[in-house]
Structure 1
């Protein structure tokens, strides 16, 4: 049995919001044009859990999604360097968790969201994922 991995993806709400994601029920995560983020997409496995973060406006973790299809060629480009994964929403956080709250939490000081603010797809340790969920409940 595989171990679940944990991730965080960022989206600007005006481009693709948590609300729109819930309406759609499933989406492919496209538009990633950073090699480190792309490699993270390639590492995602079906069943992995993903925190959905609104970047720029809001700056909050707003929900939990699940990987429902592993990486494949990004259909929005001919360039075979780029991949997508399919995600489905699982549930909204009762209380969105702000970037300020995350930065103020000592146990989260090393996560990529704090250390590499521009990275759009990042891994999380199980305890970091759980801590953010706890903060949002």
Structure 2
């Protein structure tokens, strides 16, 4: 089992939405590096759910990968903001995973707390200018994060 961080704006899709839905296709990722991380995920991997573009931003809970290497259907939908005219069902460009709700933390781990606890070399999310919506979390960092909420 590996650990990852996934970001979402709570106004678009929040951890509370995932808790209500149970599972959700993590569609709309349109960055090749983030897509490649999604393709590396395995069923059962744990996901730190990060709310971005909110006050304060931070990690709000946990999810898990429930299905892997799924073709992102939003790339084929001309009505979707994630439509990719270069993608075809025969040659899809974007893949994703399905995620399942696990836990909402009693308190958010804010970005300020993350910056105080981790260096940019340790944890990519605190790196200035980082905009990736999906990133790996080293196991040692994951253990420290989990200790912060227990």
TM-score, normalised via structure 2 length: 0.84
1:132 equivalent to 2:120? Answer no
- Aligned equivalents of 1:25 and 1:16: distance in 2? 13
Does the 8 A contact of 2:119 with 2:126 survive in 1?
no
Equivalent positions of 1:81-100 (< 5 A) are 81-100=93-112
In the comparison of the two structures, how many residue pairs are matched?
A: 134
1:67 equivalent to 2:79? Answer no
Flag the 1:106–1:63 CA change in 2: closer, same or farther, 3 A: closer
- Aligned equivalents of 2:60 and 2:130: distance in 1? 17
Quote the residue 1:118 is aligned against.
131
Report the Cα offset of residue 107 of structure 1.
6.1
SS at match of 2:73: coil
Q: Which runs of no fewer than 5 residues in structure 1 stay unpaired?
A: none
Q: Which runs of no fewer than 5 residues in structure 2 stay unpaired?
A: 77-86
Quote the residue 1:8 is aligned against.
5
Report the Cα offset of residue 108 of structure 1.
6.8
TM-score, normalised via structure 1 length: 0.92
1:41 equivalent to 2:53? Answer no
Does the 8 A contact of 1:102 with 1:108 survive in 2?
no
Structure with larger Rg: 2
- Aligned equivalents of 1:125 and 1:110: distance in 2? 8
1:105 equivalent to 2:103? Answer no
Does the 8 A contact of 1:17 with 1:54 survive in 2?
yes
